[in-house]
Amino acid sequence: MADREGNIDAKDFGIGIPQCSEGFFLKGNAHVDWGMKDRLSRIFNPKSGHTVMLAFDHGFIMGPTSGLERMDLTIVPLIPYSDCIMCTRGALRTIVPPTCNKPISYRFDAGTSILTELNDQVLQDIDEAIRVNASLLACMVAIGDPKHEGITIRNLTKTVDLGTRYSIPTLGVTAVGKELVRDARYLSLASRICAENGANVVKTYFCNEKFEQVTNSVPVPIVIAGGKKLGERDALEMAFQAIDQGASGVDMGRNIFQSDSPVGMILAVRAIVHDGVKVQQAFEIYETYKNEHK
Ligand code: R5P
């Protein structure tokens, strides 16, 4: 207990100096609670405003995806290079070292696999997300899927309600069925619906035309999924274009862990996302690392 005797009188009241009232760096999140801002500031770098999330949650619908057969060998070494990890509770408890201290984008929904019909999702218990200290609740939304659109929207709104109760922000993940076209019109519609239903961040895909329309029509930060494996230069070009056109980061999986130099690739992606380097320079970062670590 503080000593009551001999206290020095308080006198530095800064009279005449207005109290600092800092804004918040992240689009659309100026009015969320302190706890949410704390979590978002651990995911997004407050200096660059951007993030490199490493996604390895594919197994929850795809099983042992190429590159994720032994996540202890392939993913754990990559974690230190990420700003945030996106994974399931199974991956967390089995292979992710709790000492890694990375914010977790937690796969909060679970659902049907690639062997049946995708998108029939259910939500987990919020207590479980709190137990693993999740920083972001990821929930998939299947806009345009006649059978599952409603259920996935309800999942999103429930996730936002639960997350808001405990100040854990929500990541709306737009799922695009095979029959839907990933163009700016669809992606902005799906992403905007996520934001309007309360998602603090939206994950969607990049499109070659009018991607700026997607980022501008959504009032919260957008991170792009990498999608299927591309050549390294093409994947870096996609990351560059996305950031250049207003994305706040990447949530990338296969284009990193399926690369012939996963560390080289994530370093190159980081240089684009955080340092604004051009594609050629990023590609050189990837090649240099690859050649020096053969
Ligand atoms: C999306 O729902 C998946 O679970 C992945 O997290 C996402 O697709 C990102 O991974 P990739 O860059 O391999 O597409």
pLDDT tens digit string along 184-193? 999 999 999 9
- CA 174 to each of CA 8, 86, 191, 224: distance values in angstroms, whole numbers, following the listed order: 58, 15, 7, 10
Q: Is the CB of 53 under 6 A from ligand 1?
A: no
Residue 181, pLDDT score: 84
* Angle subtended by helix axes 279-292 and 232-244, to nearest 10: 140
- CA 137 to each of CA 14, 30, 39, 72, 293: distance values in angstroms, whole numbers, following the listed order: 41, 19, 11, 23, 35
Helices and strands, counts by H and E, the chain? 12, 10
pLDDT tens, the chain, 294 aa long: 667 778 888 899 999 999 988 899 999 999 999 999 999 999 999 999 999 999 999 998 888 999 999 999 999 999 999 999 999 999 999 999 999 999 999 999 988 888 888 788 889 999 999 999 999 999 999 999 888 899 999 999 999 999 999 999 999 999 877 777 889 999 999 999 999 999 999 999 999 999 999 999 999 999 999 999 999 999 999 999 999 999 999 999 999 999 999 999 999 999 999 999 999 999 999 999 999 998
The backbone torsions φ and ψ at residue 241, rounded to the nearest 5 degrees and listed phi first, read -60, -40
Query: Could you identify the atom of ligand 1 that is nearest to the CA of residue 227?
Result: 14
203 catalytic per annotation: yes
User: Residue 124 has which token pair?
Assistant: 């987990």
Residue 180, pLDDT score: 76
User: pTM of the predicted model, to two decimals?
Assistant: 0.95
Q: Is the CB of 190 under 6 A from ligand 1?
A: no
SS3 2: coil
Dihedral (CA of 31, 173, 254, 74) sign: positive
Residue 21, pLDDT score: 84
Residue 1, pLDDT score: 64
Spell out the long-range contacts of 14-23 with Cβ–Cβ below 8 A and sequence spacing 24 or more: none
CA of residue 224 to ligand 1 center, whole Å: 9
Instruction: Give CA–CA dist 263/260, Å, rounded.
Output: 9
- The DSSP bridge pattern shows strands 51-55 and 84-87 to be parallel
CA of residue 119 to ligand 1 center, whole Å: 14
Output the 3-class SS for 151-166: HHHHHHHHHHHHHHHH
